[in-house]
Structure 1
Amino acid sequence: MNQKTNLNLLYTLEVLLAEKHVSRAADRLNLTQSAVSRQLSQLRDIYHDPLLVRSGNHYVLTPRAERLGAELEGLFQNITKVLGQADFDPQLFDQTFTFSSSDYVAQYILPELVEHLSSLAPAMEFAYRLWEPDNLAKLSEIDVQLASTMLPEAPLGLSSQQIGEDIPVIVTRKNHPLSGTKTITEQELGEYPHIRISGGGDKDSFLDREMKARSLKRRILVSTPFFSSAFALLQQTDALLTVPLHIAVNLKKTQRLHVIDIPFNVPTHKYWLLWHPKYDHEPAHRWTRDHVLSIMRSSMYSVR
């Protein structure tokens, strides 16, 4: 017998053992009773066991048949998984999902993500990695299923969905000497020191270019990869910090900040949810990224 025939016979055996009745098994299999009887005869020859034994008006399973029934149940569950016929059930998803982004997302968005997803997928485990720009070329290799970052355009070779977009602004502490102004002057940009956030996407290099074109130089007081330390330093100095508008607006709710417009044309920041295309059709990944995208968009302050 070839493998296809053997698999068909095993399916017939599973139905026979479940129904313990040839005619009912034939109905489920959409076969004639005589065809199922022939297959039962083949199965008896293969296993050297009667499998089903008549007892009055019904059949009972032999001990060998009972053992086979338990084995076949697990076998066909695995076959269903391999063939991709099983629906994804978040209640049963028990794997680790690794997300990568900035420490701003880790501090202000990740808690909501975990709370929401764990309520729907209680066995899901979460891991977080700080995003580094060179990870773009490594998503096929590193253990990161989903990432978010700021990029001018969607990266080639990766799957992505745009979360939103906004523009950069200057923020200072609330009692800064410039806290009464709405727009900073070019001269003031050169007079005050700057804090630079080096982690994640390119948030402020445009400022150096624009200031250089005006014969000004930006003085960097400190460069840090973390939003948390940048905002702590901001409260203790007269420094300026360039951040995306949605972050400035969101953090004004919890920190004493003053938001100032930049006095020349600024670029549009675009934010992307990224993943390697190998996850495109993975049901668990698709389910998770849809929820992540929804929450991240809701936290995004969009400039219209």
Structure 2
Amino acid sequence: MTKHVNLNLLRSLKVLLEECHVSQAAARLNLTQSAVSRHLSQLRELFADPLLIRDGNLLVPTPKALQLQQQLATWFVALDNMMTEEVFEPSLWHGEFVLSSSDYVAQYILPELVNVFAEQSPHLTLNYQLWHPHLIDQLNPSGIHLASSMSLARPEGVSSLPIGEDRCVCLMSLHHPLAKQTTLCVDDLLAYAHIKIHAGGDKDSFVEQELSKLGLARRITLNVPFFSAAAQALCKQPLLLVTPEHIARHLAVEHELTYKPLPIPTPLDKYWLVWHEKYDKDPSHIWVRNLVRQVMTDVKASVGYDLKS
């Protein structure tokens, strides 16, 4: 009896038991009287019971039919509730959200996100993880709901939302020997040691690629995952850091730093919010990723930089 049950048959049965009249049931179901009669015949075979017995102009339900009527009433209410699209209300959301990014986002954007979440979704628990490029293939097992990353092209195998683009520059102390120059040459890049940021995405591997075409290589003396550590090192030592311009501009606001255009071909870096495709239609996820995108845009604008998103 439970195999291949047609949902339309059960809905017809529900209405038939409420009306106890084939033509009236047909009108409610927007079906022909003959179609409802066929449904009733199929239902009698399905449940091995006459279900409705004719008594004059009315149909009288059998005990089996009355039992089914109670079950169908509860079942269809649950089904209708399940099929009704739930309206997401951030202020009532008791959930947990895992956000991953470079420490730049954690330092300059996360505080603004926390403020907005506290105001609009006060019951949300936000967990932050430092982003590494290899996690792009592990979004589901890592438990990361949303990540901010950068790559030259749209990431493959995940869902994504573009959040802007810019080019890298060379960041240095205001007191660096190169700080007073308007432009840099390749020899300038090679004359001083460099810092490399190894978290958040591929920011500067193009430098090695372009220099290798000339048979040259720069010297890396400090590898760190944090921009704050890199900025402090730049202030104390005559080092160089190749970094996206919007980050350089933000760091220069808070530290005695300046930046110059690079003397080598510089690709256009693109920034993305990425997530596992299972969250594509999730209302809470849609709300968070749109909010994160807006806050990122606002923070960039606060230091006078447009990511050209």
- How far the C-alpha of 1:6 sits from its partner, in A, is 8.9
Q: How far, CA to CA, are the matches of 1:296 and 1:42 in structure 2?
A: 64
1:278 counterpart = 2:282: no
Aligned residue for 1:298, secondary structure, equals: helix
Q: 1:105 matched to which residue of 2? A: 105
Are the structure 2 counterparts of residues 84 and 152 from structure 1 closer, same or farther at C-alpha, using a change threshold of 3 Å?
Answer: farther
- CA distance in 2 between counterparts of 1:197 and 1:302 reads 23
Q: CA deviation at 1:80?
A: 6.2
3-state secondary structure, aligned to 2:97:
strand
Q: Measure the CA separation in 2 of the matches of 1:293 and 1:303.
A: 12
Match in the other structure for 1:203: 203
**Residue 225 of structure 1: how far off its partner (Å):** 1.7
Q: Note the C-alpha offset of 1:127.
A: 0.5
Query: TM-score, with normalisation over the residues of structure 2?
Result: 0.73
CA distances 1:155-201 after superposition (whole Å, capped 9, x unpaired): 12211111000000001112111111122221111110101111121
Distance (whole Å) between structure 1 residues aligned to residue 81 and residue 89 of structure 2: 12
Question: Percent identity, aligned pairs only?
Answer: 38
Query: Could you say which residue in structure 1 is the equivalent of 2:247?
Result: 247
Other structure's SS at 1:97 match = strand
Work out the CA distance in 2 between the residues paired with 1:94 and 1:8: 39
CA distance in 2: counterparts of 1:81 and 1:111, whole angstroms: 38
Quote how far apart the aligned CAs of 1:103 are.
0.7
User: How many angstroms does 1:229 deviate by?
Assistant: 1.4
Cα distance in structure 1, aligned partners of 2:116 and 2:170: 32
Whole-Å Cα distance in 1 between the matches of residues 284 and 274 of structure 2?
16
- Tell me whether 1:213 sits opposite 2:224 in the alignment: no
Could you tell me which amino acid in structure 1 is paired with residue 220 of structure 2?
I
Q: Which whole-Å deviations, capped at 9, do the CAs of 1:6-43 have from their partners, x for residues lacking one?
A: 99999xxxxxxxxxxxxxxxxxxx99xxxxxx99x989
Q: State the 1:81 CA deviation.
A: 5.9
8 Å Cα contact 2:297/2:307 also seen in 1: no
Structure 2 counterpart of 1:299: 299
- Structure 1 residues 46 and 189: alpha-carbon distance in aligned structure 2, compared to 1, 3 A threshold: same
Partner SS state of residue 199, structure 2: coil
Size of the aligned set, in residue pairs, is 263
Please state how far the C-alpha of 1:294 moved relative to its aligned partner: 1.2
Q: Which residue of 2 aligns with 1:170?
A: 170
**SS across alignment from 2:290:** helix
The CA RMSD measured in Å over matched residues stands at 3.5
- Give the alignment of 1:10-89 within 5 angstroms: 82-89=82-89
| Alpha-carbon separation, structure 1, partners of 2:143 and 2:214 | 44
Q: Quote how far apart the aligned CAs of 1:205 are.
A: 1.4
